[in-house]
Chains A and B, each alone.
Chain A
Amino acid sequence: MTVLLEVENLTVDIPLAAGDLHAVRGVDFTIKKGETLGIVGESGCGKSITSFAIMGLLPQSAIRKAQRLAFSGQELADLTQEQLSDIRGNKMSMIFQEPMTSLNPSYTIGEQLIETLLRHRKVNRKKAVERAVFLLEKVGITAASSRLKQYPHQLSGGLRQRVMIAMGLMCGPDLIIADEPTTALDVTIQAQILSLLAEIQNEFQMGQILITHDLGVIASVAHRVAVMYAGQFVEIGSVTEIFEAPMHPYTQGLLACIPIPGKTKRGSFLGSIPGKVPTLIGDQTGCSFANRCTYAKEACLLKDVDMVSLGPGHSYRCVLSSEICHQNAREAACT
């Protein structure tokens, strides 16, 4: 399968009055065509900032650095603003965490849908409207053509998020980033939207980054999972690896009761781990999970912990050996 997105040592710093906020601290991953990478992690660990960094939508003050940040083999940092905007909304698109405020209140749904297509393709308005209707129906909106004339404030949050999904699909992107697409929505609608996304991703064979708190969804939808903590990936691997053999103490904590792919119900959320996330402002050495980790020892704080590879695709960021991690996992798992 062709590699769609390559991210190597991505960092994002946001200068603040109190010092630099290291929102993303060395993230690596790749996404292939048709593959879904799930990203899980507590609030504020840098999931959205990672997505914005890829899309080039960071706040103006933020500083992005990366060894490699390439889309379809093209290094994104080398592109001009114009070239970048040619890709955005076209080859890669994003669905945001905030469906209520992500649509422009002054324009109709229709206008906002078709302008994406008109920007990137040489089609007339009529064709664009047809495409919009087709996609609105695809995302489960009834009476699509009359919806086109409505304004965002006339739609519920669930409908708005469906519109956002349709908007992201207008140009048939290769990569779609869904940043907690359902957190702002009712529980009943959450499941619908997520299965819709999975269906569409499968049908169009897109690459997908799915950020969610819902481990059940990750288990049933994602191919690979990254666990993020304080701006870093602390573990990444296939769904089976992460769920059946979690290595990192943080991952193990999240999966306090390990769900089994296919069997775990949707709506089972991250386990809660006592303690607080360390501040991301300023420089710290050592493992950033140390203050909450039951296995923490002196060695953990001596120097920054590197990723340990366990084979193709599965790695974790901890000083403990894999045997010990395995044993910890067995002990932590509830039966």
Chain B
Amino acid sequence: MLIYTLKRVLLALLVALTVSILTFGLLHLSSDPAVALAGEDATEEDIQLVRVQYGFDKPLPVQYMTWLTNALQGDLGTSYYFGIPVSTLLAQRLPVTLTLGSCALIYAILFAVPLGVLAAMRPNTWLDRFCLSLAVSAQAMPSFWFGLMLIVVFCLWFPLLPVSGSDTWKHFIMPTIVLGTNAMPAIMRLTRTGMMDVLATDYIRTARAKGLRPNTVLLKHALRNAVIPVIAVIGIQAGYMMGGTVIIETIFALNGMGLLAYESIMYFDLACMEAVVLLLCLVFITTTFVADILNAWLDPRIRIR
């Protein structure tokens, strides 16, 4: 298990490094940051001045190394638009997004897994079809539309929830529902197929042959094996959610990373963009890493060779 974990950590670090190089390279190559920075009526000299001042004239690898060494020391540069250090900005915004992400994930799992299990236990009954139609509608609904509908219902018709902001827990309810609902169908369908596959296995027959009670068979013997593939997908869904936050935080004006990503792109805030993209990637890498470790812990065939 220790060796397995170490291998995974190493892999995650490698991926993170690659991602950081790609982000940095792509953003710097996509347009000339000095032009954007210097402003609209800047002369050629102004631009050149900016270029030298910010070190954009140096070769890209050198710029990257400087950026990386600084970043590793916690210095991600200063935001051109907000005028404060990017690290301070992230420290304000990241907790909001992490809260939103984890709430949405928990909400999605809490609904999707039990529904998937129920559907698997009664395949092709009305219950199964009901779950399937839920999944299809959830999948078909664009988040921005769903978000707006929720606002119409819970803010205009029945003014129960605040429309926008991130001050109280109430502000998180609608964004959580929208973000989580998006992740539900994949988790639910995978739980269903996983569970159906497992329920048809020989070892479930053995468990029943031993006289174990239906609940023991289901929860101890079946579910544990059925969730192994689901966990990997949850890890990936958690990553997708990070991307989803861009839309959702914009709709609900939640002051998180997603909104920051939107703002920094709008104002071509290079240092900020780099940091946001990198951080979102890091979150993605972390969730898949956690999923890997959880899987190994659940499945001895991965853990013990």
A residues apposed to B, CB below 8 Å: 55, 57, 81-82, 85-90, 93-94, 96, 98, 101-107, 115-116, 119-120, 151, 153-154, 164, 167
Contact = CB atoms under 8 A, between A and B. Distances in A.
Contact of A88 (B209, B214, B225): B209
Interface stretch (B29-37, B153-161, B186-194, B199-207): B199-207
Interface stretch (B88-96, B166-174, B295-303): B295-303
B83 interface: no
A34 B301 CA distance: 40
B213 A104 contact: no
Given A103-B203, A153-B300, A154-B304, A88 B208 contact: yes
Interface string B204-247: 01111111111010000100110000000000000000000000
B218 to A, nearest CB: 13
A81 B215 CA distance: 12
A102 B203 contact: yes
Interface of B: 201-203, 205-214, 216, 221, 224-225, 298-301, 304
Contact of B225 (A81, A106, A164): A106
Given A96-B202, A98-B202, A104-B225, A151 B211 contact: no
A153 B300 CA distance: 9
Given A98-B202, A151-B304, A105 B208 contact: no
B211 A85 contact: yes
A266 B144 CA distance: 72
Contacts of A101: 201-203
Contact of A106 (B202, B206, B213, B300): B300
A105 B210 contact: no
14 contacts: A81-B214, A88-B208, A94-B209, A101-B201, A101-B202, A102-B202, A102-B203, A103-B203, A105-B225, A107-B221, A115-B216, A119-B210, A119-B212, A167-B206
A119 B211 contact: yes
Q: By CB atoms of chain B within 10 A, which of A96, A101, A105, A153 has the most?
A: A105
Given A151-B301, A153-B301, A102 B205 contact: yes
Contacts of B216: 115, 119
A86 B214 CA distance: 12
B203 A115 contact: no
Nearest to A116: B210
Contacts of A81: 214
A115 B212 CA distance: 8
Nearest to A164: B206
Contacts of B201: 101
Contact of B211 (A90, A103, A107, A164): A90
Contacts of B298: 106
A106 B220 CA distance: 10
B32 to A, nearest CB: 56
A88 B217 CA distance: 14
Contacts of A86: 211
A105 B299 contact: yes
B13 to A, nearest CB: 30
Given A101-B201, A104-B221, A106-B298, A115 B206 contact: no
A104 to B, nearest CB: 4
A151 B208 CA distance: 20
4 cross-chain pairs, A with B, having the tightest CB-CB distances, nearest first? A89-B211, A89-B210, A88-B211, A101-B202
B213 A85 contact: yes
Given A85-B211, A106-B224, A106-B300, 10 more contacts: A89-B211, A98-B202, A102-B205, A102-B206, A103-B206, A104-B203, A105-B300, A106-B298, A119-B216, A154-B304
A57 B300 contact: no
Nearest to A82: B213
A161 B206 CA distance: 12
A82 B216 CA distance: 13
A96 B207 CA distance: 12
Nearest to B228: A106
Contacts of A98: 202
A106 B301 CA distance: 8
B300 A151 contact: yes
Contacts of A120: 211
A107 B304 CA distance: 12
Contact of B208 (A57, A103, A115, A164): A57
A274 to B, nearest CB: 33
Given A98-B202, A101-B201, A106 B209 contact: no
B241 to A, nearest CB: 28
A50 to B, nearest CB: 15
Nearest to A86: B211
A208 to B, nearest CB: 16
B302 to A, nearest CB: 10
Contacts of B205: 57, 96, 102
A103 B221 CA distance: 10
